[in-house]
Amino acid sequence: MPKFDTTRPVVHRAEQMFDLVADVESYPQFLPMCESLKVRSRKERDGKTLLIADMTVGYKLIRETFTSQVLLKPDEGIIETKYIDGPFCYLDNKWQFVPSANPEHSEVKFHIDYEFKSRTLGFLMGSMFDIAFRRFTEAFEKRADQIYGRNG
């Protein structure tokens, strides 16, 4: 049952980082192993947005698509992802964006906990997923630098 948690200070506002992570359709442009992402549905209510999305990830000759529910809570600075269907027994992911004392900076908290259904797939993809998840926050920070510039 791989799990990964990190907190990363960034030189971008919490709202900017939230918006960047919430823009799931852009993930294939910069996120490690993400080959495609399609939003099936989008519902808004009480200032929150619920997405159902299919993400295809790949490494070498292996391709897997899984479906997730993504809950965007901008007022709380939180994005929660719950697994629906695909190669996992479960996958839980949470992002939290916390303003810093400097209003142009923030902290990005990232948590992911997952387990593959298949031991074989877990063996083949597990180490690459672990590496990719460890690089996620870095990939988003680099993307933020490209879009927003550096607020040094």
Q: Check residue 30 and report its DSSP letter.
A: T
- The overall average pLDDT reported for the chain is 89
Q: Report the predicted TM-score, pTM, of the whole model to 2 decimal places.
A: 0.88
Which single residue is written with the structure tokens 């074989």? 120
Give me the pLDDT at residue 1, please.
62
pLDDT tens digits, the chain, 152 residues: what are they? 678 888 999 999 999 999 999 999 999 999 988 999 999 999 999 999 999 999 998 877 778 899 999 999 999 999 999 999 988 888 899 999 999 999 899 999 999 888 888 887 777 666 666 677 777 778 898 999 999 987 55
CB 53 within 8 A of CB 36: no
Distances (CA, A) of 18 to 4, 41, 59, 79, 117: 19, 20, 27, 8, 30
